[in-house]
Amino acid sequence: MKMMTLLTLALAQPAASPPEPLEQKQQQALACVAVLAIVASEQERGVPAALDYPLLAERGATYAGLVGQQIMADSDRSREQVRDAMIAAVAERQTTAQAAADPDEALGSEMATCLPLLDAAVPPQPKPDLTQCAGMLQLAYEEVHDREGLSKTAQDLKTLASVLDSRARDQMRAEGLSGQESDILLTRSREAMLAEARERESAGQGSNLDFEHCFTLAAPEDKQRKYEH
């Protein structure tokens, strides 16, 4: 009898009222979270159209977190409610894309709106130049090699480091520098980057450069992407 009484009382409680509809600005932010997440997923799968855009996995995730926090603060929604809204937004964008006559054109229109919002909320990191990238990839190779030996990852990094080193030397040669001068500049660049990396690591900080851009600089000319990363 006591259990029945408790159930009756529970059922008599008024149902929680649904949250107020989101404002247009919040809806747009959610839509962009969905679009960026979809493009990031397609980039990971190597979809050519998605690779026309800046790499979005890291910055897109940061943007999603910022949008979620802002919506929770402004609308009193719970974390679970915001998560569900993001999932629903992804599903809606996928349905819209499937129904579009030209999915790539539709995506381009949405990205034209969302990329500026992303850049404003999560500014892209500075892009390293060829010399810096040659040093970064060489240091990355040495770190992985020390940890794993000549693993597949280490071999890939070594190849990329060699490509970037060669292109950096070609650029310096075109600028009138000798081979010895190029050696000095590349060595100094690596030493400076290693010192900075150790300093930032000791402060609990990651790199302040767009490491992904180095992979673009190492890519064959015919695979250069529409947007530099």
Domain limits for position 198: 130-223
Could you tell me if 65 and 153 lie in one domain? no
Nearest to 55 by CA among 74, 70, 42: 42
Which sign, positive or negative, has the C-alpha torsion 214, 220, 221, 226?
negative
Backbone φ and ψ of 63, nearest 5° = -60, -45
Could you tell me if 210 and 149 lie in one domain? yes
Could you tell me if 46 and 75 lie in one domain? yes
Could you tell me if 138 and 66 lie in one domain? no
| The total number of residues written for the chain in this structure | 229
When pLDDT is cut at 50, 70 and 90, the band that residue 206 belongs to is low
When pLDDT is cut at 50, 70 and 90, the band that residue 132 belongs to is confident
The tally of domains found in the chain comes to 2
Residue 5 maps to a domain? no
Residue 17 maps to a domain? no
Residue 13 maps to a domain? no
The DSSP line for 205-229 is ---SS-THHHHHHHS-GGG--SS--
Residue 151 maps to a domain? yes
The CA distance from 166 to 195, in Å, is 23
Q: 76 in the Ramachandran plot: left (φ > 0), alpha (ψ -120 to 50) or beta?
A: left
Each residue's pLDDT tens digit, 146-205: 999 989 998 998 999 999 999 999 999 999 999 899 889 888 888 888 888 788 777 776
pTM: 0.64
| Unique residue bearing structure tokens 């060699």 | 162
| Unique residue bearing structure tokens 């679009």 | 35
For residue 35, pLDDT beyond 50: yes
When pLDDT is cut at 50, 70 and 90, the band that residue 221 belongs to is low
Residue 104 maps to a domain? yes
| Unique residue bearing structure tokens 């980057």 | 193
